[in-house]
Chains A and B, each alone.
Chain A
Amino acid sequence: KQEVTQIPAALSVPEGENLVLNCSFTDSAIYNLQWFRQDPGKGLTSLLLIQSSQREQTSGRLNASLDKSSGRSTLYIAASQPGDSATYLCAVRGGLGSARQLTFGSGTQLTVLP
């Protein structure tokens, strides 16, 4: 059974700092990995999707890496801003079965202080 762990559970940083969020998963047979952002009480916004054959993806100030063999992914946020404050969720999509559902971590709650 796939398990996804995100460390740390919460993080508080001053504005302008670069930061890294970590995600680990137990089964390396994944189809892809997605990073999401969730604002309080809201749905999920997809930030980056990395296919299993890829090593990293970039979008603006965000960069996500994937090391499938070691079961790890990182989300790097450059020059953090107060508007980046949210919960960041990592999810892996299973490699077996047609549904290939997403298995989520519990998230990292990020607070960027002005």
Chain B
Amino acid sequence: ETGVTQSPTHLIKTRGQQVTLRCSSQSGHNTVSWYQQALGQGPQFIFQYYREEENGRGNFPPRFSGLQFPNYSSELNVNALELDDSALYLCASSLLSPTYNEQFFGPGTRLTVL
């Protein structure tokens, strides 16, 4: 059983550019959630995908968008990058079930916006 993987590990972009981050969920999981973690803070919920559709969104602008694919892997896209978008982006997978819903996190992608 493979865990949650994310790519790339690190990324440097300039303000105004666009970026795509990728996540492969843990085997058997059908839900992917994305979080943004600024330095010294706890992660903040961006959105969740279940069966290829957005299933909830946090307080993030529309320039943050995502996709989930039939194999449950996911992408996070951020357009018009701003300096404040510099953060660790974490992906978490889980099984959307009433009785079992522990979230398992990947290693994260460190995004630096210059």
A103 pairs with B45, CB closer than 8 A: yes
Tally of A interface residues using CB under 8 Å: 26
- B-side interface residues, number (CB < 8 Å): 29
Whole-angstrom distance from the CB of A23 to the nearest CB of chain B?
A: 11
| A91 with B42: CB separation less than 8 A | yes
B71 within 8 A of A: no
- Contact between A100 and B43, CB atoms less than 8 A apart: no
The majority secondary structure among interface residues of chain B is strand
- Interface segment out of the listed A11-19, A36-44, A75-83: A36-44
Cross-chain contact of A46 among B41, B48, B96, B103 (Cβ < 8 A): B103
Are B106 and A43 touching (Cβ within 8 A)?
Answer: yes
8 A Cβ contacts from B79-99 to A: 88, 90, 92, 96
Q: Which residues of A contact B (CB under 8 A)?
A: 4, 31-32, 34, 36, 41-46, 49, 89, 91, 93, 97-107
Interface residues of B (CB under 8 A from A): 4, 6, 33, 35, 40-45, 48, 50, 55-58, 88, 90, 92, 96, 101-108, 110
